[in-house]
Amino acid sequence: MNVKITVTYDGTDFCGWQIQPNGRSVQQILEEAVEKVTGEKVKITGSGRTDSGVHAMGQTASFRLEKNFPVERLYLALNAFLPPDVKVVASETAPDNFNACRSAKKKTYIYRFYKSKAELPLLERYAYRINPDVNTDKMREVAEVYKGEHDFKCFKASGSSALTTVRTIYDINIKENGIETTLSVTGNGFLYNMVRILAGTLLKAAEGKFGVDDALSSLSTGKRELCGTTLPAKGLCLYSVEYD
């Protein structure tokens, strides 16, 4: 039986999705819960490996069970054994050839900012503070350059093991609600730290330090140093994963 689950978690106290020798991972917590509920040891495959401190609203994962189980109610049983910072919000039977990672077609990440001259405790845990005077219209102008299929070598972080840096960004949206600004990015896949680097680059544009010509140059040369800094993980959230 192939099972698909949708997971949400606060990544603050996790070392990331993937099991680590000396860290608390989302994958390990979930696998332990599945064993307690079903009596089976499983290996759970996530749609992607979120890094330490990154959150998820709609992370998807899949695994196989040897025995039949009322899968539609599995999420309720799992949540009884899961800590407050990770919960399963849906569970369903998936086709035999479904793999949460390889079958994914689109992923959407959001990066949250808030405008304030002082840290606000109720936002600081999940968003990155920026100067109230930044120009988000400049963000939108530069974001247009990065839409479509490109070689995103300029967004390749050190330590990335990607064999190719060509990716497609289907959409980039920047929305404002009071002091909060949300950057939403949908693509067919992302390089290691790519969205956090894109967020840092668009913030650089909002500060008047990076323009459309700079964005075009970053793509044509592939130079990482032309782009912005890698913003902190706390502002990033895997929002959703889409399949056929």
| Catalytic positions | 51
Q: How many other C-beta atoms can be found within 10 angstroms of the C-beta atom of residue 184?
A: 18
Measured CA to CA, the distance from residue 91 to residue 134 in angstroms comes to 42
Beta strands in 80-234 (DSSP E): 86-93, 106-115, 128-130, 148-151, 166-177, 180-187
| Nearest CA among 194, 205, 206 for reference residue 231 | 194
Here the tokens at position 134 are 């930044």
| Three-state secondary structure call for residue 8 | strand
DSSP per-residue codes, 190-240: --TTHHHHHHHHHHHHHTTS--HHHHHHHHHH--GGGS-----GGGEEEEE
Reduce the DSSP state of residue 139 to 3 states and report it: helix
* Token pair of 6 as six digits: 């949708």
- Pairwise CA distance, residues 231 & 111, whole Å: 9
Contact 9, 85 (CB under 8 A): yes
CA angle 57, 137, 221 (to 5 degrees): 85
